[in-house]
Amino acid sequence: MHRAAYAVLGLDWTFEAVDVAPGELPAHVDALDASWRALAVTAPHKRDALDLADSVTDVARAAGGANTLLLEQGPRGRHVRADNTDVPGARAALSEAGVVDVPVVRVLGAGATAASVAHAVAGLGAGLVELVVRDVGRAEETVAAVHAAGLEARVLDASTSPTGPVDLLVSTVPESVAGERADAWAADAAAVFDVVYDPWPTRLSVAARAAGRPVVTGLDLLAHQAVLQLRLMTGASVDVDVVRGAALEVLASA
């Protein structure tokens, strides 16, 4: 997606995937030379990205994680700024699908993406976020992020198979997990947002469409957050369909 955008913008830039072991992000960033402009950060490094940054935007701090590190060169050397485009990207993806009023949101999982989703839905009328997790004790950071968004948080044990109607179901867990109860999850939700984009379609998305529910995909999130990320990195705007189309081509050829 980034490479397609660079081509449209006429930039002779590269975008490379680099595997970084958990806990090694600070050392990796320190080793980068001045030719590096920015990094797109994925799990499990989003929370570590906050700690290594020289400055952190309000949205990244509130969400408890950053998916973007901007490496800014100045007279005093390099300044690392952490930002989060997952939050506005998720909100844009939901709005594009017409999902704009979601008082009660059920989220499968409680990682950094779940925290970003909480802040995204705070701008779409949410009041309560249910976090469905396998280990209740590991949800504390995400609960704090939900509260920071001004929302009520309710942590539910996944083993109890929580039920009841919700305005939006968001799955931030792997297909193998969400797919176990796909029909039941979809039946309870007025709309479904599955952040997984590979493999696609997921069992949850198929069940949601069969039930006549609006479906927002992980590819939609990926495209919208990338447009915002590209603007931070390059200072220029790219149409969301350019990056979404590039991602679809990659997935189709995989």
Residue 175 has pLDDT above 80, yes or no: yes
Residues 6+ apart with CB under 8 A from 164: 188
pLDDT greater than 80 at residue 212: yes
State which amino acid sits at residue 134: R
Write down the pLDDT at residue 74: 85
Tokens found for residue 22:
């958990």
Q: In CATH, what number is assigned to the domain containing residue 58?
A: 3.40.50.10860
Asked if 126 and 51 sit in the same domain, the reply is no
* Strands lying side by side in the sheet with 192-194: 152-157, 128-133, 104-108, 168-171, 192-194, 215-217
Q: For position 83, what pLDDT does the model report?
A: 98
Q: Does 137 lie in the same domain as 240?
A: no
The two three-digit tokens of residue 146, written as one number: 């939900």
Number of structural domains (the chain) is 2
Q: What is the pTM of this model?
A: 0.92
150 and 132 part of one domain: yes
- Same domain membership, residue 189 and residue 102: yes
Q: What is the pLDDT of residues 243-252, one digit of tens each?
A: 999 988 888 8
Tell me the average pLDDT across 188-200. Answer: 94
**Is 90 a known active-site residue?**
no
One domain for residues 150 and 206: yes
Residues 119, 203: one domain? Answer: yes
Assess contact for 193 and 108: CB atoms under 8 A: no
Percent of the chain with pLDDT over 70: 100
Check whether 254 has a pLDDT greater than 80: no
* pLDDT tens per residue, range 34-53: 999 999 999 899 999 999 99
Average of per-residue pLDDT across 185-197: 96
CATH classification of the domain holding 136: 3.40.50.720
Beta-strand (E) ranges in the chain?
A: 38-40, 55-56, 68-74, 77-83, 104-108, 128-133, 152-157, 168-171, 192-194, 215-217
Q: Are residues 185 and 211 in the same domain?
A: yes
Place 90 in a pLDDT band, splitting at 50, 70 and 90.
very high
Which pLDDT belongs to residue 242?
Answer: 94
pLDDT for position 150: 96
d(CA 85, CA 52): 18
Q: Are residues 206 and 95 in the same domain?
A: yes
Q: Which of 2, 45, 46, 213 is catalytic?
A: 46
Domain span at residue 181 reads 87-219
Look at residue 76 and tell me whether its pLDDT is greater than 90.
no
- 49 and 169 in a single domain? The answer is no
- The conformation of residue 68, written as its DSSP 8-state character, comes to E
Distance between CA atoms of residues 237 and 231, nearest Å: 5
Contacts of 8 (CB under 8 A, 6+ apart): 238, 242
Radius of gyration of the chain (CA): 18
Query: How many residues does this entry show for the chain?
Result: 254
Q: Over the range 4-35, which residues count as b (16 or more CB within 10 Å of their CB) and which as e?
A: bbbeeeebeeeeeeeebeeeebbeebeeeeee
Looking only at the bridges linking them, the beta strands covering 215-217 and 192-194 are: parallel
Structure confidence at residue 251 (pLDDT): 84
β-pairing verdict for 77-83 and 68-74: antiparallel
- Same domain, yes or no: 23 and 146: no
Contacts of 152 (CB under 8 A, 6+ apart): 127, 128, 129, 146
Q: Is the pLDDT of residue 161 over 90?
A: no
Do 84 and 50 touch, CB atoms closer than 8 A? no
22, 74: one domain: yes
Question: Quick one: 94 and 64 in the same domain?
Answer: no
